[in-house]
Every structure is written in C-alpha cells, then in structure tokens.
Amino acid sequence: MSRSRSSISLQFLSFLLSLSLHSLSVLAGDHSSAKDGKTKKPDAPKSPSTGIKMLIICLGVVTFIAFSVILFKLWQKKKREEQHARLLKLFEDDDELEVELGLRD
C-alpha cells in the first residue's frame, strides 16, 4: 500500500512539474506584440526574465512539497514503531503475569 501511495505522490509531483514547465513556456513567449501587430522598441530596458523567476518559485514549491511528504513519512514510521513497541510491551507484561499466577511455566 505504501508503494501505491509513493507512486501516486510521484505522479502528482511530475504532473505539477510538467504544469509549471508548461506555464513557463507560455510566459516565456511574448504573445502580446504578435496580437497587436506592434514590435518592441529595441532600446527598451529589459526586466529580469519572468520565466526564470517562475522556475525558481515552482522548484521551491515542489521542493517544499517533497520535503513535507518525506517528513510525514518519517513521522508515520516513528508512530508505527512506537505502537509496535507498546504492543510488544503489553504482551511481555501478560507473559510475566501468567508466570506469576502459575498459569504457565
């Protein structure tokens, strides 16, 4: 069951990555001048690339999501180990009680 969850999360992350790359490719192309029939002035100051900013933001979001998933998996593993240790302790206590009552040798 954990494999199916991890594969689903990997598929979701790859979907987010492809969606962000698609949006970056749309933002990288300047379609406003093609629609209006106007051309840009060659002496106009260029701002930093919006595509690069979007790429950094998307990579940050994907990294945050991946980090959150990893932390959640580690938390689940720790809780599972604690529950297993409690279960083992419960059965050990029962064995000692049976020996004390003479029910088992």
In the chain, where the domains are located = 2-27+49-101
- Show contacts of 86-90: CB within 8 Å, 24+ apart: none
Q: How far is CA 75 from CA 8, 70, 81, 90, in A?
A: 19, 9, 10, 23
pLDDT tens by residue, the chain, 105 residues: 455 666 776 677 677 767 766 766 666 665 554 455 555 555 555 666 888 888 899 999 999 999 999 999 999 999 999 999 998 888 776 667 677 777 765
pTM of the model: 0.45
**DSSP assignment, residue 42?**
T
